[in-house]
Amino acid sequence: MTRVFSGIKPTGNVHLGNVLGALQHWVEDQHRADSLYCVVDLHALTVPQDPDELRSTTLRLAQILLAMGLDPEVCTLFVQSHVHQHAELAWIMECTASYGELSRMTQFKDKSDKAGFVSGGLFTYPALMAADILLYDTDLVPVGDDQRQHVELARDVAERFNSRYGDTFVVPTATFPAAGARVMDLQDPTSKMSKSEDTAAGTILLLDDPKVIEKKIKRAVTDTDSEVRFDVAAKPGVSNLLSILGAATGRTPEQAAEGYTQYGPLKADTAAAVIERLSPIQARFAELAADPAETHRLLAVGAAKAGELAAATLTRARANLGLLAAT
Residue 237 CA to residue 243 CA, distance in Å, equals: 10
* Residue 316 burial (C-beta neighbours within 10 Å; 0-12, 13-18, 19+): middle
Annotated active-site residue 111? The verdict is yes
Residue 172, judged by CB atoms within 10 A of its CB (0-12, 13-18, 19+), counts as buried
Is 18 among the residues that bind ligand TRP (CB under 6 A)? no
Q: Which does 21 bind (CB under 5 to 8 A by kind): ligand TRP, ligand AMP, none?
A: ligand AMP
Residue 127 near residue 42, CB atoms below 8 Å: no
d(CA 31, CA 29): 5
Binding at 70: pick from ligand AMP, ligand TRP, none (beta carbon under 5-8 Å per type): none
- What 8-state DSSP symbol labels residue 251? S
Beta-strand (E) ranges in the chain?
Answer: 3-8, 34-39, 76-79, 140-142, 173-175
Three-class SS of residue 259? coil
Q: Catalytic site residue 192?
A: yes
**What is the DSSP-derived secondary structure letter of residue 146?**
G
Size of the site for ligand AMP (CB under 6 A): 15
Instruction: Supply the minimum distance, in Å, between the C-beta of residue 181 and ligand AMP.
Output: 6
Is residue 15 part of the contact set for ligand TRP (CB under 6 A)? no
Which 102-161 positions form the footprint of ligand TRP (CB under 6 A)?
129, 132-133, 141, 143, 147, 150
- What is the contact mask toward ligand AMP in residues 193 to 212, using x (rule: CB under 6 A)? xxx-----------------
Q: Which does 43 bind (CB under 5 to 8 A by kind): ligand AMP, ligand TRP, none?
A: ligand TRP
40: contact with ligand AMP by CB under 6 A: no
If binding is defined by CB under 6 A, does position 130 make contact with ligand AMP? no
- Of the pair 22, 47, the CB lying nearest ligand AMP is at 22
